[in-house]
C-alpha cells in the first residue's frame, strides 16, 4: 500500500493562474516532506522541502505543511507554461529512504 498519496492526478490551469497540489502521508512517523519537479524526459529536481508546521515561500512557489494531518500542499501562483511537469511529493520518516507519491501532472495552457 502506497504511503504517500497525491492529488489530483492531473491538473490543467491557464497561464497566470494558481495551481494547487496536495500530498498526504499515511505513515505517522513521517517528519520531512520534499517536492520534486520532473519535466518530460528529464530527471526529478528538488523544488522545496519542509519539516516545520506552517508555510514556506520561494518566489512563485509556496509550500504548506500540517504535521497533525501529515498533509502538505504546493501552490504555484502566476503559473507559466514552463511549469508544466510532473510534480512528485516525497516523505521521509527518520529512515534512510524517501517514499515518493505517484505525482501530479500539471499542464499550464498558454
Q: According to the binding rule CB under 8 A, does residue 35 interact with another protein? A: no
Q: Does 43 bind another protein (CB under 8 A)?
A: yes
**Cell numbers that stand for 46 in this block:** 528538488
| Position 70 contacts another protein (CB under 8 A) | no
Contact 86, 38 (CB under 8 A): yes
Binding residue (CB under 8 A) for another protein from 63, 103, 106, 108: 103
From residue 29, alpha-carbon distances to 5, 25, 42, 75 in Å are: 15, 9, 31, 25
Size of the site for another protein (CB under 8 A): 19
* Cα distance from N-terminal residue to C-terminal residue, the chain: 37
Site residues (vs another protein, CB under 8 A): 32, 34, 38, 42-46, 49, 86, 88, 92, 96-100, 102-103
Amino acid at each position: 500500500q502506497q504511503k504517500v498519496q497525491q492529488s489530483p492526478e492531473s491538473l490543467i490551469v491557464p497561464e497566470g493562474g494558481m495551481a494547487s497540489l496536495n500530498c498526504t502521508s499515511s505513515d505517522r512517523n513521517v517528519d520531512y516532506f520534499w517536492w520534486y519537479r520532473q519535466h518530460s524526459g528529464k530527471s526529478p529536481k528538488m523544488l522545496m522541502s519542509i519539516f516545520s508546521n506552517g508555510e514556506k515561500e520561494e518566489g512563485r512557489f509556496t509550500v504548506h505543511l500540517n504535521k497533525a494531518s501529515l498533509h502538505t500542499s504546493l501552490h504555484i501562483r502566476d503559473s507559466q507554461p514552463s511549469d508544466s511537469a510532473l510534480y512528485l511529493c516525497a516523505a521521509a520518516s527518520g529512515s534512510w529512504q524517501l517514499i515518493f507519491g505517484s505525482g501530479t501532472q500539471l499542464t499550464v495552457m498558454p
